[in-house]
Amino acid sequence: MHLLETRVAHDRSGWRVDFLGDDEEAVSIKVADGHATSEEEAVKAAREVMIQLTAFGTRGGGRSVNAYDSASNGNFDDQWLLDTWH
């Protein structure tokens, strides 16, 4: 997902932060009022939730193998390397 827009809305139940991407992809995070008092704080809290959730998609939530692994976004931009034989 390539982030195109971030929308923030507030109502009685708290903040809703929508991360909108290309190809009509969207991720919505609800942030309780106790965790944010402004739009900026709501976006920051929502990003922190998404970072915490990324661990669930990697090795069962296990730790990174090394520094490169922890910095990688996992998109495999260099897929041609997968066909390389040594």
Higher pLDDT, 4 or 86: 4
pLDDT at residue 86, rounded to an integer: 45
Instruction: Give the model confidence (pLDDT) of 19-61 as tens digits.
Output: 999 988 999 999 999 999 999 999 999 999 888 877 655 555 5
pLDDT at residue 54, rounded to an integer: 74
pLDDT at residue 60, rounded to an integer: 54
- Closest C-alpha to 15, from 23, 52, 56, 37: 37
Query: Cβ distance 4 to 22 under 8 Å?
Result: yes
The partner residues of 42 in beta bridges, in order of sequence, read none
Distance CA 19, CA 9 (A): 12
pLDDT at residue 51, rounded to an integer: 83
What element of type H or E holds 29? strand 26-31
Size of the chain in residues: 86
